[in-house]
Structure 1
Amino acid sequence: MHWRGGAVAAPPERPHEVTSTAVTPLGPDSLTWRFFGDTRLLLVGPRAAVLQNMLPALGQGVLDHSVFFSETFARLRRSAGPILNTVYGGDEAAATGRRVRDYHTEIKGTMPDGSRYHALDPETYYWAHATFVDHMLYGVETFIRPLSEGERRRIYEESRTWFRLYGVSDRAMPEDWKGFQAYWKHMLEEVIVPHKTARYGVGYATKGLPAPPKVPARLWRAVSPPLNGIASFLTIGGMPPAAREPLGLPWSADDERRYQRFAAAVRRAGRLWPLLPEAVRYFPQARRAFARTRRTSR
């Protein structure tokens, strides 16, 4: 397997099959459990999804096979749930991870340059996973609190366990945190491109959100300007600088200062966060896992 013009050469006939030992799932002692289901990570915006689609093979797979263009937000919701269920699945995590993997078995085709792609090519599949790891690290440090270098290493090691729950070859996965940092830098600077799918995914940041079905046009005209402003601010602000320019997303020094002030205010408000109901603070998948753990401990 090798990169050719941003695509990958044809994978083996059944690239999803790997031989591996059983993987112990993540649990309540992990930093990933503590942070990945925190609703404050919504403030990051669609960083992970957009970066995923900037990998040519992945963007092409979405273009060819997904309902992303006709049901953008519904598709994002359907994708996020199984990922959260893999992280918080406990004894069912590996089975859930394999189901997530198998959703992608038939996502394959031909790139514009004639090379073949497959969603389960290890390099392609690992890139999707890496964007979730980055999403969590960026979201925590931006909107929750700074992480120590030891915590970053720990989260990365936990992400290796998480990835192995999918049952996909881990040959593309860096061996350690330092390797992941080098990998991430290489992907942002040398591999990702402004694929059509990614450009479409952030189009609302400059053109405005599409009107939801059944919302009267007059009402939408009244409420959409502030919603568009918030969506644009969070979407563009949450993107790495290396991705903003190729995607044509406008962002000034003043915008950056406002974004950093906003992030600092959210971090300060974090002192009050534990006082809010768990239903506000965590996604349902995390809450179910916490409840399961409490029952077991009793």
Structure 2
Amino acid sequence: MNDANSVRNGPQPPAPGGVLWSLVGDIRTLLTLPAALTMQVAHPAVGAGVDEHSVFRTDPWGRGERSLVSLQQWVYGGEDAAEEGRRLRRLHKTIQGTDAHGRTYHALTPAHYAWVHATGYPVFRHGQRYLGRPFTEAQERQLYAEWLQVGRVLGINDRDMPQTIEEFWPYYRKMLDNEIEETAVVRELISTDRPVPPPDRGPRWLRLLLRFAWPVILPRFLRFRRFVTIGLMPPDARRAIGLEWTDAQERRLRRFGRVVRVVVPVLPERLRFMPMARRARRAARASLGTKRV
């Protein structure tokens, strides 16, 4: 079997028009990703892998961009999605070591790999309550089914992920109760006093401007990052990690969410959706002969 046939025969991403189709490419997803990442690295094995093998300290913007492109590929990549899943597994094959408790880990251990993926569902669900219109029960079930399909694209076996929402929540609570903690990487991701280099993406004039203004921008950026990371994390996960969240912060988050809910839906598609999502949506409309997908 040649490579092209192998790609075609691999797991396919969710079909156009589903919940993830509108959710993942929307710019509001950028606000929820830090919460998911922080929940992931709150697992000691995952945190150790990121601590020892990731370039998130030396190349945070490049690392973030690559992760975002990969996420988009899982949903909008069509036949290329399965190859992206295989690429990620190849990338993680050599990631292994010892966590902070002296336990050996490997990035592709099914329980660890599944937890990284599982965090997306509760974060998407919780973030939607602030940044969009809360999901109906039917939409929540569809979201979970589509997220399971994305997991198959990533090479996660069905036996390693709860297959229904009813099975997911006991698994999730067990992980929060027995596995999750405030790891060293969690502390770095919510820190407001650690150095972060200025962005090195975008037009040259913008990079020069940001480099000049970075000493003023950085403290505000770090405070905002901490705010949305903790605020858009499900409260039970927040408590399990030991992250403080006050009533005043909750009120601020709700005010922020109201602004986002009003502004983002009226933006033109070129501003509301990220590039890969825009291209996929145009292609789907052309294929289906519809105005909206």
**TM-score of the aligned structures, taking structure 1 as reference length:** 0.81
Q: Per-residue displacement from partner, 1:263-296 (whole Å, max 9, x unpaired)?
A: 23333445xx2x4221211112211211221333
- 2-side partners of 1:225 and 1:56: how far apart? 28
For residue 264 of structure 1, what is the aligned residue in structure 2? 258
Tell me the alpha carbon deviations over residues 153-204 of structure 1, each in whole angstroms, 9 at most, x when there is no partner. 1110111111111223332200201111222222223321111112112113
Give % identity: 37
Which stretch shows the higher mean deviation, 118-127 or 275-284? 275-284
* SS of equivalent to 1:103: helix
User: Which range is displaced more, 131-140 or 28-37?
Assistant: 131-140
RMSD of aligned Cα (Å): 2.6
- For the 8 Å contact 1:209–1:228, the answer to whether it is kept is no
The aligned residue for residue 73 of structure 2 is 85
Residue 249 of structure 2 is aligned to residue 255 of structure 1: yes
Cα distance, 1:46 vs. partner? 0.6
> In the alignment, which of 240, 250, 270 is matched to residue 234 of structure 2?
240
Q: How does 1:1-298 map to 2 (within 5 A)?
A: 22-44=10-32, 46-204=34-192, 207=193, 210=196, 212=198, 219-244=213-238, 249-269=243-263, 273=265, 275-298=266-289
Contact 1:36/1:136 (8 A) holds in 2: no
Structure 1 residue 112: Cα displacement: 4.3
Mean Cα displacement is larger for which, 100-109 or 117-126? 100-109
Amino acid at match of 1:182: P
The aligned amino acid for 1:212 is: P
In structure 1, how many angstroms separate the alpha carbons of the residues matched to 2:16 and 2:145? 15
Which consecutive residues of structure 2, in runs of 5 or more, have no partner in the other structure?
1-8, 200-207
Q: Quick check: which one's helix share is greater?
A: 2
* Count of residue correspondences: 273
Relative to structure 2, which stretch is displaced further, 177-186 or 111-120? 111-120
Query: Quick check: 1:88–1:286 contact (8 Å CA) kept in 2?
Result: yes
1:35-64 CA deviation, whole Å, 9 max, x = no partner?
111111223351011111011111111112
SS at match of 2:111: helix
Distance 1:126 1:150 in 2: 24
Q: Is residue 25–residue 90 contact of structure 1 (8 Å, CA) maintained in 2?
A: yes
Tell me if structure 1 keeps the 8 A contact 2:196–2:218: no
Compared CA separation, residues 235 and 185, structure 1 to 2 (3 A) = same
Residues 280, 114 of structure 1: alpha-carbon distance in 2 compared, 3 angstrom cutoff: same
Contact kept in structure 1, 2:126 and 2:233, CA below 8 Å: no
- AA partner of residue 99 (structure 2): M
> SS state of the match for residue 194, structure 1?
coil
In 2 relative to 1, CA 281–113 (structure 1 residues): closer, same or farther, beyond 3 Å? same
Q: SS of the counterpart of 1:39?
A: coil
Task: Tell me the CA shift for residue 83 of structure 1.
Answer: 2.0
Q: Which moved more, 1:102-111 or 1:143-152?
A: 102-111
- Partners of 2:254 and 2:104 lie apart in 1 by 42
Could you tell me how far apart the structure 1 residues matched to 2:11 and 2:196 are? 42
